Amino acid sequence: MTIPMVYNQLISLDNSNVSLQIKREDLIHQFISGNKFRKLKYNIEAAQLQKARQLLTFGGAFSNHIAAVAFAGKTYHFETIGIIRGDEIENHEELNPTLQFAKDCGMQFEFVTRSDYRLKESEAFIESLNHKFGDFYLIPEGGTNDLAIKGCEEILTEDDSDFDYICCSIGTGGTFLGICNSLKPNQKLLGFPALKGDFIENQMKEKAKNDQWKIISEYHFGGYGKVTPDLIDFINQFKADYKVPLDPIYTGKMVYGVMDLIRNNYFKVGTKILLIHTGGLQGIQGMNNSLKHKKWTLIN
């Protein structure tokens, strides 16, 4: 998997004493965008070396990772199996846009209860999947493993050395850890979790190889997959102002948080900030379906 050229886009801020740019990782690939391409790069190579026939992975019904693995499997000639959280989805007459896309790419689904899904890392559960599907190359939920972190270490380049702060969203933590490993001594990483709870910070303390980072946990908007009208309005206005689409689950929350910190003078005068756009735009269609039911403004 060859990474196309990625560029940093300037975000012009009125009456601000900081410099802000966004790394357009979302433009890496139409269907395997952003950090999903980074995480899959070395996992696909490993699966090819092992002459694996199947890729098996885990995710929720709107997972960017599920969609990316399905398309990668189609592209690189693997069969794909998605273990999907929530067995109630299996009985729906229509799949949501994410799962329909994955199915169209050839992914086979196994819907499991939420209690069974929590066992996804247990030896007994993996063995039961081996018994049912045969041998497969296992990619964890969200794609995060050592090979994924290795791929995410390549997000920052020498051209990014002058930035004081790097900012990214956090899901399973692989992107955050990869970026953390590649920081220059003068840089600090701010992570914005999409999930509620202190467990993310505890996990990063265990796994991070340095202390050049901080978790900013105030911008989850209620938790994973949760949004507010204020967040939706921000995403739409940001796209109108800068021609940059943001997803509502990850990058949208991170950018909102950074902008709020800038307004509240969190950063020193002259600070250079780089935002990492991790992609995930495929989830907008599914989110808009939900927003329609609530009669909220849709994401443009």
Q: Please, are residues 109 and 103 in contact by the beta-carbon 8 Å criterion?
A: yes
Residues above pLDDT 70, as percent of the chain: 98
pLDDT tens, position by position, 138-158: 999 999 999 999 999 999 999
The mean pLDDT value of the chain amounts to 95
Residue 3 or 159, more confident: 159
For 63, the 3-state DSSP assignment is coil
Percent helix, percent strand, percent coil in the chain, to nearest 5: 45, 15, 40
Instruction: Report the pLDDT averaged over residues 6-13.
Output: 94
Q: Are strands 8-10 and 19-23 parallel, antiparallel or unpaired?
A: antiparallel
Gap between the Cα atoms of 152 and 181, Å rounded: 9
Gap between the Cα atoms of 78 and 53, Å rounded: 5
pLDDT tens, position by position, 257-272: 999 999 999 999 999 9
Instruction: Report the pLDDT averaged over residues 123-133.
Output: 97
Does residue 23 have a pLDDT over 80? yes
Query: Which pTM value belongs to this model?
Result: 0.94
**Predicted pLDDT of residue 93:** 67
**Predicted pLDDT of residue 263:** 95
Q: What are phi and psi of 204, to 5 degrees?
A: -65, -35
